Structure 1
Amino acid sequence: MKRILEPGRNCWTQTEAHDAGVLVDGRDYYKAFYREALRAKSYIAITGWQFDSDVSLLRGEDAQQAQGELRMLPLLRELCEKNPELHIYILAWDFNVLLAMEREWMQHTLFNGYSDRLSFRFDTSAPLYAAHHQKLVLIDGRVAFTGGMDICDCRWDDRDHPARSTLRCDNGRDPHGPYHDVQSVLTGPVVEKLAELFEARWFNSGGGTLRLPTPVSRDDVDLKPTVALPPGPVAICRTFGKTLVPFQEQVQEIRALYLDAIDAAEHFLYFENQYFSSRILFQALVRRMRAKDRSRLNIVFVLPRMPEALREQLAMGVAQVRLLRLLQRVAKETGHALGVYCSVARDEAGQDVYTYVHSKLLVVDDRLLTLGSANTTNRSLGVDSELNLAWEVSEENGEPLRRAIRRLRVSLMSELSGVSRPAELRKLARADGLVSFLDGVAARGEARLRAHPLETVFDQNPLIKPLVPEELVFDPEDSLIDESLFESLKQEQSLVASGVRFLARWFGSLPARPHPASLPAPNTLP
């Protein structure tokens, strides 16, 4: 069977992990981060889409057993006080003005005003209309966390996802609703490659050359993942949009990975994602379903019922409903089974309260797993900075990895569908009849799974339906830079390029050339 992962095409590199696993939902991730942060000796490096200084890392019974600070920034300050050798680096996306009312203000002052060993930077180097969306934590070069979760308000939940919970209360707000996400945790040489990526982001943001210390010798690393993965090679996959300052070339490894994975599928595709609005992935799924002499697939999507904000309804929600309705039609015409679902909890009155699915995960035939920060949107596969990891079954790792991927998939599907009896779990584990089984669970309405209504706020309110947009810049597929201009500026001898480099030095701190770790990787296959 042809391998899917190919360095230089759909991943940057494949590097060994000594230990690896997946942390499911905010409680497990925040608890693991807290535990490893307390043990940090040399450095903690964090990059993300959003941060909040006073988010509580431990809650409920977890907090009762802890000593010292439990909130994000007070904890980091306390760690600096206790360890004069510790350095902390935080790199946050310099968010769009549209998000200003949802973000904590004055963070540059809040984080930087305490210790010269706690450095906070905003990263302004994203392309126009794009975001820095990667989520990565590194501790002492020994442990890495990456996935869909930022350390911020309105992310914490546990796997029970109750309809109401006072533990889901942040910063004096009313408790938020049920929330689902996944994060990976790793040790081994792969952490050093991820540290190189963090150094690249820091450099490209104008922070200068950062050399993170070599991995610290430690014997107290204890991952405790929700679901363990075996040791072996892990692929690092990236998205970077094209920019003029620095002269960042486009990197679309995650997009290529999704396309290759869809084409390689022989039995099933399992998507968990916050959105599905990618035109290129829609086309790939249609192409695979219409392919003659190929096996019939079970295709499963688990999504939120609706995007959270109106701007997201405009940007992705309308396109998502259109594309999924078309996919359902193609599946019916071609004999494939395709199901689109959402997950709920029941409140005291017996009403459905929808779980917000924020995870970004794909499983193919239990032979390939990828998870990370990338949504299945145009922007995540084209212009935003994104970071995914991927594991693929091979002759070397064989059945242990396949069993681990299946165990993770069944665990996630059980959590979101609400089925847990042994006979039901066996049906989740099988590829054949998967959509038919899930359709039955959703139709009975006794557990957590529901058929996705595939509607938007415009469908719910006929008065605003004429306002449905055709195209919006909120979900762009490419950087808004003319290709001929970009190629001209890449040339060192170009007079215009010299002018851009002069302006970059004069008006800002961004480098003229990006760090090598953010550039396209050479294809290493013969």
Structure 2
Amino acid sequence: MKNMHADSILKPGRNCLGISGVDSTGIIFDGRDYYRAFYECALRAERTIIISGWQFDSNVKLVRGADADGASATGFLDFLKSLCDKKPDLKVYILAWDYHLIFFMEREWTQNSTFSSAHERIFFRFDHRHAFAASQHQKFVVIDGHIAFAGGMDICDGRWDDRSHTADNPLRVDSGGRAYGAYHDLQSYHTGPVVAKLMELFKKSWKDSTGGEELTFPAMAGEDVFHGVEFGSPIHAKAVAISRTQARSLFRIKRPVREIRRLYTDAILSAKEFIYIENQYFTSYAIYRAIVRKMKSSQAGFQIVIVLPKKEGTLLERIHTGISQNRMLNSLKRVARRRRHRIGIYYPASVAKGGVEAPVYIHSKLMLIDEHFLTLGSANTTNRSMGLDTELNVSWEATGDGARAISRSLLNIRTELLTEHTGAHSQAEIKRLGKTKDLVAHLESVADRPSGKLRRLKAKRPNIL
């Protein structure tokens, strides 16, 4: 496996806060596996659990079906309460976005008191000290200073699903027992020195949001019970980078932080053969321009795959993103045709009873460049995530002595994602998805199959009414 990238993409101070060591790291696919991993790790917690998120629901079930066998408490808040009852030194800190009124009907109305009154060692805060009209969108967890999770997943209703994404799943219900559609998302896990960096970011956010309250976390004595732990698809890397978006505000910073925007554009412009993107939206003008520039400067045959939801989730999202997203996607297709490149834009779907299509909602925020670079986090490919909202991404790059092993890990992740989205079963088909050459042409043929899960996303002017 050749390394086509002579220069490093990751540059501390430009497109990342820094690069930190890891003992183990990798990707967790979808809500079932992430919630189960969080549940299992939290059971081992002794001193601290810290959680930062955009949204929480107190009653969301963390483990379901066979995964819940032997579990005494499966609801999120009940689980945290049971841990604190059993472990006298354990403290839980939860930092949530103090949401705008337009989200009022989607939130628990008395969440602050619900969490804060649950136990004397569960501390809940709303974060409202950010730039005007911005949101706290970072989604990460740290347990006992030894293991961390970061990515696109909140612990809330409507996120749990397994990797099959079937049209009908009796376990895929919210805390009120209402069924919802198939849902795809991604989270990362990390052990080692990078965990301390994430703890420092949480302490800073907590201090800013509370007007000066300093958190101190006790050092863990004894054996690290998370050492060497692996979930999902491991990445055989020794380092990971942290990148942020944070707008200038009166409360926190005087200069904006736009590391994630630079990260995306630098990585896209470094691509040699292939760009793979999964995201909830595609409306970032900076990312659009970078892809256009890449196609215009590349020889014929450059490949791009973009996986998005079939449609935006709400009327508000259609108004704010639908029109600009479709314009950008159509423009990318035109540039690709003129320059003789291949671009495939898709959504996955299952088939419900009666042959009705059941699209899988894409909520993941990932980009892969060749077999060299991967970034995953909370940032959507939108203008908001690139400049206004508070975001957090982690990234891996195939450099140094372990470059070949990292490249193999990244290729395996891409293959696993495409296997999930296409519904491939045979080893021959999965092996074909692992080859970059003519991959878009192959995916187009897969999308032509009436029984396939992968479907072409047709960009058109949305009917917002």
Q: TM-score range by the shorter chain?
A: over 0.9
The residue number in structure 2 matching 1:240 is 246
> Would the alpha carbon gap of residues 85 and 313 (structure 1) be closer, same or farther in structure 2, given more than 3 Å must change?
same
Q: Aligned partners of 1:398 and 1:247: how far apart in 2? A: 36
The residue number in structure 1 matching 2:3 is none
The residue number in structure 2 matching 1:122 is 126
Equivalent in 268, 289, 303 of residue 295 of structure 2? 289
Question: Is the radius of gyration larger for structure 1 or structure 2?
Answer: 1
Kindly state the Cα deviation for residue 247 of structure 1 after the two structures are TM-superposed: 3.6
Q: Secondary structure at the match of 1:444?
A: coil
Kindly state the Cα deviation for residue 176 of structure 1 after the two structures are TM-superposed: 0.6
Q: Secondary structure at the match of 1:92?
A: strand
Check if 1:376 corresponds to 2:381: yes
Counterpart of 1:322 in structure 2: which amino acid?
R
Q: Which runs of 4+ in 1 moved over 3 A?
A: 215-219
Kindly state the Cα deviation for residue 392 of structure 1 after the two structures are TM-superposed: 0.2
Gaps of 5+ in 2: 1-5
Equivalenced residue count is: 458
Q: Aligned partners of 2:221 and 2:461: how far apart in 1? A: 50
Kindly state the Cα deviation for residue 367 of structure 1 after the two structures are TM-superposed: 0.3
The two structures, once aligned, show a CA RMSD in angstroms of 1.4
Give the structure-2-normalised TM-score: 0.96
Q: Aligned partners of 2:177 and 2:8: how far apart in 1? A: 48
Gaps of 5+ in 1: 465-526
- State whether residues 148 and 183 of structure 1, in contact with CA within 8 Å, keep that contact through their aligned partners in structure 2: yes
Check if 1:108 corresponds to 2:143: no
The residue number in structure 1 matching 2:195 is 191
Equivalent in 136, 146, 149 of residue 145 of structure 1? 149
> Would the alpha carbon gap of residues 354 and 135 (structure 1) be closer, same or farther in structure 2, given more than 3 Å must change?
same
Residues 73-88 of structure 1 mapped to structure 2, 5 A cutoff: 73-88=77-92
Kindly state the Cα deviation for residue 447 of structure 1 after the two structures are TM-superposed: 1.5
The residue number in structure 2 matching 1:277 is 283
Q: Aligned partners of 2:79 and 2:223: how far apart in 1? A: 21
Counterpart of 1:278 in structure 2: which amino acid?
S
The residue number in structure 2 matching 1:24 is 29
> Would the alpha carbon gap of residues 231 and 392 (structure 1) be closer, same or farther in structure 2, given more than 3 Å must change?
closer
Q: Aligned partners of 2:253 and 2:351: how far apart in 1? A: 51
Q: Aligned partners of 2:190 and 2:261: how far apart in 1? A: 23
Equivalent in 360, 371, 379 of residue 365 of structure 2? 360
> Would the alpha carbon gap of residues 215 and 337 (structure 1) be closer, same or farther in structure 2, given more than 3 Å must change?
farther
Counterpart of 1:271 in structure 2: which amino acid?
I
Kindly state the Cα deviation for residue 91 of structure 1 after the two structures are TM-superposed: 0.3
Counterpart of 2:135 in structure 1: which amino acid?
A
Residues 197-346 of structure 1 mapped to structure 2, 5 A cutoff: 197-206=201-210, 208-221=213-226, 223-291=229-297, 294=299, 296-346=301-351
Equivalent in 411, 418, 421 of residue 423 of structure 2? 418
Q: Aligned partners of 2:235 and 2:418: how far apart in 1? A: 17
Equivalent in 43, 49, 52 of residue 48 of structure 2? 43
How many percent identity over aligned positions? 43
The residue number in structure 1 matching 2:184 is 180
Q: Secondary structure at the match of 1:317?
A: helix
- State whether residues 41 and 216 of structure 1, in contact with CA within 8 Å, keep that contact through their aligned partners in structure 2: no
Counterpart of 2:76 in structure 1: which amino acid?
M
- State whether residues 25 and 230 of structure 2, in contact with CA within 8 Å, keep that contact through their aligned partners in structure 1: no
Q: Secondary structure at the match of 1:397?
A: helix
Counterpart of 1:283 in structure 2: which amino acid?
R
> Would the alpha carbon gap of residues 285 and 216 (structure 1) be closer, same or farther in structure 2, given more than 3 Å must change?
farther
Counterpart of 2:217 in structure 1: which amino acid?
L
Q: Which is worse superposed, 113-122 or 34-43?
A: 113-122
Check if 1:62 corresponds to 2:75: no
> Would the alpha carbon gap of residues 456 and 70 (structure 1) be closer, same or farther in structure 2, given more than 3 Å must change?
farther
Counterpart of 1:452 in structure 2: which amino acid?
L
Q: Secondary structure at the match of 1:349?
A: helix
Kindly state the Cα deviation for residue 219 of structure 1 after the two structures are TM-superposed: 4.1
Q: Aligned partners of 1:217 and 1:442: how far apart in 2? A: 53
Q: Deviations along 1:242-294, whole A, 9 cap, x unmatched?
A: 111234421011100100011000010000100000011111111111116x4
Q: Deviations along 1:318-365, whole A, 9 cap, x unmatched?
A: 111110001000000011110100000111212210000100000001
Q: Deviations along 1:64-88, whole A, 9 cap, x unmatched?
A: 2x33111100111111111110111
Q: Aligned partners of 1:216 and 1:49: how far apart in 2? A: 32
Q: Secondary structure at the match of 1:146?
A: strand
Q: Secondary structure at the match of 1:137?
A: strand
Q: Deviations along 1:489-515, whole A, 9 cap, x unmatched?
A: xxxxxxxxxxxxxxxxxxxxxxxxxxx
The residue number in structure 1 matching 2:445 is 440
Q: Deviations along 1:453-505, whole A, 9 cap, x unmatched?
A: 223541xx7xx5xxxxxxxxxxxxxxxxxxxxxxxxxxxxxxxxxxxxxxxxx
Counterpart of 2:355 in structure 1: which amino acid?
G
